[in-house]
Structure 1
Amino acid sequence: MKNLIKYTPKVEKRTLLLIAGIVWGFAGFRVLTLGLGDVKINNGNWIISIASGSIVFYMFFKFIFSKMFKKHTRRIINSSLEKHCVFSFFDFKSYFIMSFMIFLGIIVRNIGVFNPVYVGDFYMGLGLALFMAGVLFLLSSIKFTNTKLKYSN
């Protein structure tokens, strides 16, 4: 067990925020491209798709991902550790939620219960909200001094 702890990759707080931004930005981009593909392949109405995707984006970003960003940024900034495990940009609960969302997304796509255009609209909004959370993490890493001032207790 000591070897596991000894060889665990550790990074500084700034780098941890950068990694969170890359992970969330990539995940958001992938979900967004899946949604765009669904709408394009199934000849959806782009105006309606963008409008409904915008509503999904607003709901997820305002009520979930912006709060998640603040929670984890505050936790990372206020940690007493100098260096953190490279995977600790989330806590266990957040990893569980993320795994559940991925699982649910795969099930919804493969069962085919919903019209792919509607799934595409939802994925466009969700993907953009995830991507924006990634951008916030990236900006907090780039402007680390300001981030420390803003989120320090």
Structure 2
Amino acid sequence: MSVHKNTLLLIASIVWLAAGVNIARIGLEAYAAGHLTLLNVVLSAVVGIVFWSFIFGKLVVKHTARITGYEEERHFFLKFFDVPAFVIMAVMMTGGISIRAFGLAPEGFIAVFYTGLGCALALAGLRFARMWLREVRVTRA
């Protein structure tokens, strides 16, 4: 179950891209249910920019530096994140599922927030992929 350290970046890319696309899909479905307005689209963009700028953009840089700094070449495949990142992910997933399952937020909020959050997560996945490609090129050179 061990992989090359650069593969950890690819795993992170796949996980974050899948999560982002799924969450954005939920938001877009809520938009399709009658919440598509210019104001909501702008608010989704603001949510995405805030999450990217203050959380996910920094997270990609932090975890890329941690992974590429490993001295050993092979690692357990779940080491693409550290324990605090897994805890944050679990809390976010539990919160998001709870909000929808118990109807704690109106569908308009789901449209705005989930679309912005999902796009920021997907962008993190794409950036992890870019970091993976960069590291693969450096390793082969």
Does residue 84 of structure 2 align to residue 86 of structure 1?
Answer: no
CA distances 1:78-133 after superposition (whole Å, capped 9, x unpaired):
11111111110000110011000000001111222321111211000000000000
Task: Name 1:151's counterpart in structure 2.
Answer: none
What number of residue pairs does the alignment pair up? 139
CA contact (8 A) 2:6 2:67 kept: no
Task: Name 2:89's counterpart in structure 1.
Answer: 98
Which of structure 1's runs of 4+ aligned residues deviate more than 4 A?
Answer: 145-148
Larger helix share, 1 or 2: 2
RMSD: 1.5
How far apart are the structure 2 equivalents of 1:47 and 1:147?
Answer: 44
Task: Name 2:21's counterpart in structure 1.
Answer: 29
Which aligned pairs between 1:2-151 and structure 2 lie closer than 5 A? 9-41=1-33, 43-144=34-135
Gapped runs of 5+ residues in structure 1?
1-8, 149-153
CA contact (8 A) 1:140 1:147 kept: no
Q: What SS does the corresponding residue of 2:45 show, helix, strand or coil?
A: helix
The one-letter amino acid of 1:122's match is: F
How far apart are the structure 2 equivalents of 1:103 and 1:79?
Answer: 31
TM-score (normalised: structure 2): 0.93
How far apart are the structure 1 equivalents of 2:75 and 2:92?
Answer: 25
Task: Name 1:5's counterpart in structure 2.
Answer: none
TM-score (normalised: structure 1): 0.86
How far apart are the structure 2 equivalents of 1:78 and 1:91?
Answer: 14
1:77 shift after superposition: 0.6
